[in-house]
Amino acid sequence: MLFSLSSLMAQQGIIDEVIWIVGDEAILRSEVEQQRLRAQYEGTPIEGDPYCVIPERIAIQKLYLHQAQLDSIEPNESMVMNNVEMQMNYFVTQIGSREKLEEYFGKNIVAIREETREMLRNNQIIQQMQQKLVEHIKSTPADVRRFYRTLADDSIPTVPAQVELQIISFQPPIPEEEIEAVKERLRSFTERVHSGTTDFSVLARLYSEDPESAKRGGELGFRGKGNYVPEFANVAFNLSDPERVSRIVETEYGFHIIQLIEKRGDRINCRHILLKPKVSIADTDKAIKQLDSIANQIRTEKMTFEQGVIYFSQDKNTAMNAGLMLNPNTGTSKFEYKDLPQEISKIVYSMKVGELSEPFTMIDPQSNKEVVALVKLKSKVETHKANLTDDYQLLKNFYEETEKGKFLKSWISKKQKETYISIDPEWTNCEFEFPGWIK
């Protein structure tokens, strides 16, 4: 059974009260309980006693926020609102409905959204403040070499195995009759909504092939135009009647119909139903045979891999780069196995440098469509202890992050001495990370 914060506090006879004062800011018992409840809901572990860890965490945030106010640091409100909607959509998806979410937090959805906005807004300000405080910390090669020589062997970071890959991939052709069948299904959904026989949200839950939004009846949450591919955005942002369904829209993900829910300034909330035309088994087999023929030509040196990319690959992210895959997490061409699509990771693990894989099918992470693919292992570095020759940039980052961490800890200790702090005696029996709270 779900219990809300308010009901838990009522059962325990708890009256809200001020437990800490940091400068001019009070920390309430309810703030601590709310953060504990939110962490529990999100599955975020709290190392140590939450009634010690959470108040100290809030107090540190207040030190940063006070300094940010002095330095006139302002957040990007548009980014904050986008993150709020993403967070709210995640909450509703995880818990099942808005009603259950309200029950859990003991607040209506408007209050939960505002609380989330305040939290994410403060987090962004704090990040900007931290960046400003440590922006002067830079390193020279001499600094990095000196730092590396002082590291104990067990403190030297371990570099996971990394690979560089080239890929040729293309999507097997989809028969025109399959595309027409998908469009006909979407037309029938539109007719059912317009005739009043079925709600759009019901059809989305039953049939949409966008699994996350389908759980919410196709609802996407409030987003700006830039959050969607142009074909989708151009239609969605021109809708004005919540009772009507859009025309069929084709994007790289498939075919959609869209229904407006609400407009707020330059953001909208809408529902959609996504259907994806399916490739037949025969067409997939034919594409694999074609790719197998290409692989044989590369192996017998009748064609280079790079030529195969130019002539055959449809992967727009790699076609102009000799097929070299780029890691979206780092912007480099190096991948840890965990960062690769699962299908590729399993195949590449046992390959040797320069070797070509057999053709295989996979779901393209960008388009979420099935493609046939062939990969070549360009380079591979095994798991090893970082060294200055091969891993200078990693060690440079490690050194700078270490120095930044030291500086911020020193800054917090200094701010503790300069700031008025009062803690209710019931909340002082803690082993704080920063002992300067109790004076």
**Structural domain range at position 288:** 162-173+280-385
CA distance 325 to 335: 9
Dihedral over alpha carbons 194, 199, 202, 207 (to 10 degrees): 0
Q: Do 119 and 71 sit in the same domain of this protein? A: yes
Is residue 149 included in any domain, yes or no?
Answer: no
Asked whether residue 391 is domain-assigned, the answer is no
pLDDT at 38: 78
Q: How far is CA 303 from CA 164, 187, 295, 296, 328, in A?
A: 21, 46, 9, 9, 29
Residue 4: the pLDDT is 43
Per-residue pLDDT of the chain (439 residues; tens, 9 = 90+): 333 444 444 444 456 899 999 998 999 998 898 888 878 877 788 888 999 999 999 999 999 999 999 999 999 988 888 888 888 877 877 777 788 888 877 888 889 889 889 999 999 999 999 999 999 999 999 999 999 999 999 999 999 999 999 999 998 888 899 999 999 999 999 999 999 999 999 999 999 999 888 988 999 888 888 889 999 999 999 999 999 999 999 998 899 999 999 998 888 999 999 999 988 888 999 999 999 999 999 999 999 999 999 999 988 888 888 999 999 888 889 999 999 999 999 999 999 999 999 999 998 877 777 899 999 999 999 999 999 998 999 999 999 999 999 999 999 999 999 999 999 998 888 989 999 998 7
List the one residue out of 337, 312, 336, 339 whose CA is nearest residue 323.
312
For residue 206, give both structure tokens. Answer: 């039953």
- Report pLDDT for 5: 42
Question: First and final CA of the chain: distance in angstroms?
Answer: 43
pTM (2 d.p.)? 0.66
Work out whether strand 421-423 and strand 18-22 pair parallel, antiparallel, or are unpaired.
Answer: antiparallel
In a domain, 152, yes or no: no
Other beta carbons less than 10 A from residue 155's beta carbon: 9
**Residue 286 within any structural domain of the chain:** yes
Same domain, 256 and 304: no
Q: Are residues 180 and 169 in the same domain?
A: no
Query: What local confidence, expressed as pLDDT, does residue 135 receive?
Result: 95
Structural domains in the chain (count): 3
Q: Which amino acid is at 249?
A: V
Task: Indicate whether 168 and 300 sit together in one domain.
Answer: yes
Task: Judge contact between 371 and 174, C-beta under 8 A.
Answer: no
**Helix pair 29-42, 98-105: axis angle to 10 deg:** 140
The amino acid at residue 417 is: K
Q: Are residues 293 and 167 in the same domain?
A: yes
Rounded Cα distance between 60 and 122, Å, is 12
- Do 254 and 286 lie in one domain? The reply is no
Percent pLDDT > 70 in the chain is: 97
168 and 198 belong to one structural domain:
no
CA–CA separation, 66 and 265 (whole Å): 31
**What is residue 7's predicted lDDT score, i.e. its pLDDT?**
46
Residue 23 and residue 74 in one domain: yes
**Counts of helices then strands in the chain (DSSP H, E):** 15, 13
Q: Is 286 exposed, middle or buried (0-12, 13-18, 19+ CB in 10 A)?
A: middle
Q: Say how far apart CA 133 and CA 254 lie, in whole Å.
A: 46
pLDDT per position as a tens digit, 63-78: 999 999 999 999 998 8
Residues 306 and 166 in one domain: yes
Distance separating alpha carbons of residues 21 and 28, to the nearest angstrom: 9
Q: Residue 300's domain is classified under what CATH number?
A: 3.10.50.40
